[in-house]
Chains A and B, each alone.
Chain A
Amino acid sequence: MTARIGVVTFPGTLDDRDTQRAVRVAGAEAVPLWHKDKDLKQVDAVVLPGGFSYGDYLRAGAISRFSPVMESVIEQAKAGMPVLGICNGFQVLTETHLLPGAMLRNNHLHFICREQKLRVESDRTAWTADYTAGQEISIPLKNIDGQYTADERTLDMLEAEGRVAFRYLDGNPNGSLRDIAGITNEAGNVVGLMPHPEHAVEPLVGTGRTDGLGFFTSILKKLVTA
């Protein structure tokens, strides 16, 4: 038996199919979850994919937070279920306060779509165990509201607790404070990042590399050996 990983679709989600595919490429079962559905179908983990849920109205991720599916996701995440938020998913996680801080418009106001080099700062999360701390990876980055911000005290806390999970390398693409590309909660089960690992799991497409596959193999190993 393999792990069942839920992939949420909100109205306006774009990357749910790629995320489902990445889950399958890693060897797990992808379970589509609908935003109106409180039932998580007994999945072992959930991915909130990228896109523009609810048209980014109000603020990116602000309305998704109140969808029925998120009620269950928040409850389960607090109980330890692994949750990964990618791009818009990361924005949803900050809006729900499962992760600290918030996302602002990129400091240069342009939409970015490019390959981005990152350093994996923490291999102690549910989604990064297959990497080694300090490892450099390259995966796509595509967003306009990607500037991570938080107050100094929160940033210092994240650094001190080793909760900065990913940092941008070779130039900060959006003005994110301390080059932060992704963070984790204290327990390491909830991780959010702006770049897109699900677009880099097969050599044929995306960056031509498979640097993002480790997210999905990490979670699979964790769930199967648990």
Chain B
Amino acid sequence: MARVVVDVMLKPEILDPQGQAVQRALPRLGFQGISDVRQGKRFELEVDGPVGDAVLARIQEMAESFLANTVIEDFVVKVEDEKAEGEK
């Protein structure tokens, strides 16, 4: 089993009202010095078998067509360290 992580974030030019609300709440809670917060989504995919180029290409396709709406969001696909995975 290997883990592939897909991070989805609103594009920089898209207003993120949830991130703004979090940022505005910070000083009230005693957290100073945070000038901006952007909120996103993280998907952790447990893949059966090894993660080769073909599998990654399919995950890329999945992220582009489903996990992210590329009209408003960007995404990054990352394979988690296989070695660290093996040590578990």
Interface residues of A (CB under 8 A from B): 58-59, 62, 66, 94-95, 100-102, 104-109, 147, 149-151, 175
Contact = CB atoms under 8 A, between A and B. Distances in A.
A108 B71 CA distance: 21
Interface string B1-31: 0000000001001110110010000000000
8 contacts: A100-B71, A102-B69, A104-B15, A104-B72, A107-B15, A109-B18, A151-B13, A175-B17
B51 interface: no
B18 A105 contact: yes
A95 B73 CA distance: 12
Contacts of A94: 71
B69 A59 contact: yes
A107 B14 CA distance: 11
Contacts of A95: 69
A67 B69 CA distance: 17
Contacts of A104: 10, 14-15, 17, 72
A151 B72 CA distance: 9
Contacts of A109: 17-18, 21
B71 A62 contact: no
Nearest to B71: A102
Contacts of B18: 105, 109
A147 B10 CA distance: 14
Nearest to A101: B71
A104 B10 CA distance: 10
B40 to A, nearest CB: 12
Nearest to A177: B15
A185 B88 CA distance: 53
Given A105-B17, A109-B18, 7 more contacts: A58-B67, A59-B69, A95-B69, A102-B71, A104-B10, A108-B17, A149-B14
A153 to B, nearest CB: 12
Contacts of B72: 102, 104, 149
Given A62-B66, A66-B66, A109-B21, A175 B71 contact: no
A66, A104, A109: most-surrounded residue (chain B CB, <10 A): A104
A195 B78 CA distance: 40
